[in-house]
Structure 1
Amino acid sequence: MNIKIQEIYPNCHMINRTVEVGGLTKSQLIHKIRKKSILINKLGETLFEDDKFTTSDSKYTLQTVELAVQDLGFLEGGTVSQIFRKANQLGLKLCPLELAPYLRLAYLDQPEGNLNRHRQHKAPYGSITVASQILTEDHDFPKGFYLRRIDGALWLRGYVCDDMHIWEPDDHFIFVKQ
């Protein structure tokens, strides 16, 4: 009998990226996103418009890691607070909110999401959620951004969820390496 042991970060499959962040105002960032024909949903626009979403005047570089929820040890899925707490215990940090638009601009070859497998009230197949500090406990206010490619179009999308939402084991998150 051959039983495979679940590998947990850092001993698992992961995607590492280096992303340059900062140096643009919010309006300059939006202009650059639109120039690349990247689409933003209404929740993403709400995040951009909020005063709590700030951008850095100075450029800086972040090392990121993309992992599935199961790579953090959640074989049955987990809530945002469970996922973020476990990532922190494993030496990963939450991303600054401004990382998501810069990551979207840098990651232009994201594979197409699977349109044939729709999941209501779940992260879409092929999406990558950028793990960032939640700005407010208001359940109707966007919690952060995720990246997605649908019908060839690149998206930077905001999302909402409550504290009880269970993320699937195969949902992907991006964290900052410490």
Structure 2
Amino acid sequence: MKTYDGQTAKFLAVVGENMPEVSGKMMQWWIENPLSLQVVLRSLCTKPNFEVWKTIKLGTVGLKTAEDFRRALHKDGFEINDRASDILGKFAFTVATEETEVDLAKVTVAELGFKDGAKREQIYERAKELGLELCPAEVGPQLRLQYQDQPNGEWVLIGMKPIVDSDGDPNVFYMERIDSKLWLSSYWGSSDSFWHADRQWVFCRPRK
């Protein structure tokens, strides 16, 4: 009989408490077929492999300051709300010193395992556990400039460290398309802000 450390024993207890109803006949089949059970359990414990959704460039020529981004957005016909424009000018908003590419993954809160929604802090923690990383803040305006074919009605949040605006409120970038208008905006980004299961977040997907 195996012995387990405290964490493993607790994990097995939680699994037992949350097991769906299983008939005695089915239980006996699993008991008699442990290798089949191992295959099922391995599949459950495998991290999901989030596909690259988009690859964008950071640190591009001519886009080094907040004003550079504001001009580029307006020149190309994008809309930007006041809060997003505000946090572009904050010290916490930094730009890559050299041109570089980053791979992005787009995931829903449900795909991170939260079928009933979750707080931002929980979403970030789970994304990191599953191998994703927070985006540099520059991803916000750069993705907006490079994502011109956004579907109408789509609303995408940037998984980034929140930037405090001039009113003292934490903000994260998001982008949406409303009819013909493509917006770069920002939204309340406190650690306990709640997001429904269908909300989409963008995170960086590290290259191996």
Please classify the TM superposition score into its range, dividing by the shorter chain length.
Answer: 0.7 to 0.9
In 1, Cα distance between equivalents of 2:190 and 2:64: 30
Amino acid at match of 2:64: T
In 1, Cα distance between equivalents of 2:48 and 2:196: 20
Give 1:67's aligned residue: 107
Give 2:48's aligned residue: 10
Contact preservation (8 Å) 2:52, 2:103: no
Seen in structure 2, the aligned counterparts of structure 1 residues 105 and 168 have a Cα distance that, compared at 3 Å, is same
In 2, Cα distance between equivalents of 1:127 and 1:86: 21
How many angstroms does 1:42 deviate by?
Answer: 1.0
Q: Which residue, out of 103, 124, 141, partners 2:169? A: 141
In 1, Cα distance between equivalents of 2:161 and 2:95: 14
Seen in structure 2, the aligned counterparts of structure 1 residues 139 and 170 have a Cα distance that, compared at 3 Å, is farther
How many angstroms does 1:165 deviate by?
Answer: 2.1
Give 1:81's aligned residue: 121
In 2, Cα distance between equivalents of 1:63 and 1:54: 18
How many angstroms does 1:34 deviate by?
Answer: 1.0
Q: Which residue, out of 197, 200, 205, partners 1:169? A: 197
2:53 is aligned with 1:25: no
Structure 2: which 5+ runs fail to align? 1-43
Contact preservation (8 Å) 2:55, 2:101: yes
2:155 is aligned with 1:127: yes
Give 2:181's aligned residue: 153
Report the TM-score when normalising by structure 2: 0.70
2:157 is aligned with 1:99: no
2:76 is aligned with 1:36: yes
| Equivalent position SS for 1:143 | strand
User: RCO greater where, 1 or 2, for CA within 8 Å and sep 6 or more?
Assistant: 1
Count of equivalent residues: 159
Report the TM-score when normalising by structure 1: 0.81
The alignment-based identity, stated in percent, is: 30
- 1:17-71 Cα shifts (integer Å, max 9, x gaps): 1101113212222221111111110110111121211212311100000011100
Seen in structure 2, the aligned counterparts of structure 1 residues 133 and 11 have a Cα distance that, compared at 3 Å, is same
Amino acid at match of 1:10: P
Instruction: Say which structure is richer in helix.
Output: 2
Aligned-pair RMSD on alpha carbons? Answer: 2.3
Once superposed, which parts of structure 1, at least 4 consecutive aligned residues long, lie more than 6 Å away? none
In 2, Cα distance between equivalents of 1:89 and 1:131: 14
- 1:48-104 Cα shifts (integer Å, max 9, x gaps): 121211212311100000011100000000111100000000000000000111111
| Equivalent position SS for 2:68 | helix
Larger radius of gyration: 2
How many angstroms does 1:151 deviate by?
Answer: 2.3
Amino acid at match of 1:129: L
